[in-house]
Structure 1
């Protein structure tokens, strides 16, 4: 079965690229591909526990990840091993590219977190984005990234991630 079939069967590798290098690569189950949005599910792919202070990602967590070929972000629903919703972690990225069995996404440093209960909506890594030099190298991409973060914050405030 092809990794880009719309019926959701198959696996692919999610490849997160940052500053021209592969940051992480992990296998994911393809759930859906409608030609614009690709949805995959994968267990926490990090090493051990990652404690951000506002959320902990740990072994057993499951991520349902939505990537778009025409949007500058990815939205990841995070659940613990028992299925309880922790929240949504969103990455500002260039539009995703599915090539064969690889879904390649370029991370642009900006992130957003929305807790499950909606009490915390946090814009993250704006200092890393400023330090990345993207605004000087590619002003139009930097503007698209900032607009994507604003859009994610608006969606979070509307509790609209479930409707994407």
Structure 2
């Protein structure tokens, strides 16, 4: 489903789950849903500023978020309030589930940051992933998560990330 600009925007709740608990939930505007990929837009939902050292997420930032029902990741395009691209924050997750106005994704700890110019590609939270115990409790999911991070990394380094989002 693509949302026509003449129609009233549709909203849903994005629910990020980690280790069986809701990590964060926030309203987002549904931009498109083609049955496989769901695209939403939302302002930065965190409290105040989150400074990672290589990027700052802050009030006014706008996230266009891409979720897949058949892939083990989500990609979030991050822009300033003025529209300047900060970069892409990629979350390794289980495939997204959308029902009853709720888009639910389970965070599997692994992340990738890609700067706006593509020169800074960082794998994040591999220590958290190892400590999560997923490899022991759900080896199939752990293998899918690692493969998803590798795929995102290869796409980012080969300029395939932008193709993925078009």
Alignment TM-score, normalising by the size of structure 1: 0.96
- Could you report, residue by residue, the CA deviation over 1:5-42 in whole angstroms, capped at 9, with x for unpaired residues? x1224000000000000000000000000000000000
Alignment of 1:52-131 (within 5 A): 52-131=52-131
> How far is the alpha carbon of 1:100 from its aligned partner?
1.2
Mark the runs of 5 or more structure 1 residues left unpaired by the alignment.
1-5
**1:92-126 CA deviation, whole Å, 9 max, x = no partner?**
00000001100000000000000001110000000
Measure, in 1, the Cα distance between the counterparts of 2:161 and 2:10: 25
The residue number in structure 1 matching 2:2 is 7
Q: Determine the C-alpha separation between the residues in 2 that align with 1:73 and 1:102.
A: 17
* Divergent runs of 4+, >2 A: none
State the SS of the aligned residue for 2:48: coil
Residue deviations 1:49-80 (CA, integer Å, cap 9, x gap): 00000000000000000000000000000000
The answer to whether the 8 Å contact 2:92/2:145 transfers is: yes
TM-score, reference length from structure 2: 0.94
- Point out where structure 2 has 5 or more consecutive residues left out of the alignment: 4-8
Q: 1:141 maps to which residue?
A: 141
Q: Superposition RMSD on alpha carbons, in Å?
A: 0.6
- State the SS of the aligned residue for 2:155: helix
| Count of residues in correspondence between the two structures | 159
Contact persistence 2:2–2:34 (CA under 8 A): no
